[in-house]
Amino acid sequence: MAPIISVRDVHRSYGRGPNRFEALKGVSFDIAEGESVAIVGKSGSGKSTLMHVLALLDAPTTGTVELEGVDTSTLKGGRLNRTRNKTFGFVFQQFFLTSSSSVLENVVLPMKIAGVPRGERRRRGLAALEQLELADKAKNKGLNLSGGQKQRTVIARALVNDPRIIFADEPTGNLDTATGAVVEDILFSLNRESGITLIVVTHDEELAARCDRRIVIRDGLIVDDETEVAA
């Protein structure tokens, strides 16, 4: 089967002239649909930069990213936004909840962006909250949730457009061990049971070990790429 994502010789630089810094120095790999992939490495190694490029939130300086065989540099403006919004779910710390809006309002936001009618937004938003065992919190303000409830709300929001790929950047970074384990279990059950491709940046060795594959990045280069062989 053709890969869902294909990355070829991607470079990403920040700044210019003497301040130019190359955060990615030429990375290439394919991701198959349904894989769970951990991107690991020390702080500053380029993990978030790579994740942003994969998720089409940022473009490579040079090199190509194909999504289902489409060169993503050909996607611009509205088409790029629609592709991202329809294909991806994001579990990123910086895409946090609006604390003054209700849990349901936060969860339906990607559908609002996609132009889904109000009634259907509500129905699908409540279904996602049901799935994450948060239906009773639909009307709560984001501010009043525990860390685990917030992260489950973020996952519900990531699911409402029925994504093919979930990108998670340190999804358990701010959670205690027990709550983090619940959030991990949810992500892996979505991967296994719904076949959603899971791409996760993490410092957490145990979380990385649960993934089918670990891509190790150091100073902007892939230094290891191991896939678990099924026993």
**Residues lying near Mg ion in the complex (CB under 5 A):** 48
Residue 58 CA from chain centroid, whole number:
13
Cβ proximity to ligand ADP, 53 vs 186, nearer residue: 53
Residues 40-69 that bind ligand ADP (CB under 6 A): 41, 43-49
* Site membership for ligand ADP, residue 15 (CB under 6 A): yes
Coil, strand or helix at 67? strand
Q: What residue number has its CB nearest to Mg ion?
A: 48
Type and span of the H or E element at 110: helix 103-114
Which of ligand ADP, Mg ion, none does 14 bind, CB closer than 5 to 8 A by kind?
ligand ADP
Cβ proximity to ligand ADP, 94 vs 100, nearer residue: 94
Q: What are 32's two structure tokens? A: 């198959």
Q: How far apart are CA 152 and CA 212, in angstroms?
A: 23
* Site membership for ligand ADP, residue 171 (CB under 6 A): no
Cβ proximity to ligand ADP, 162 vs 224, nearer residue: 224
Cβ proximity to ligand ADP, 21 vs 96, nearer residue: 21
Sheet of 62-67, strand order? 21-31, 5-14, 62-67, 70-71
* Site membership for ligand ADP, residue 14 (CB under 6 A): yes
Amino acid identity at 165 = I
Count of C-beta atoms within a 10 Å radius of residue 69: 9
Which residues contact ligand ADP (rule: CB under 6 A)? 14-15, 21, 23, 41, 43-49
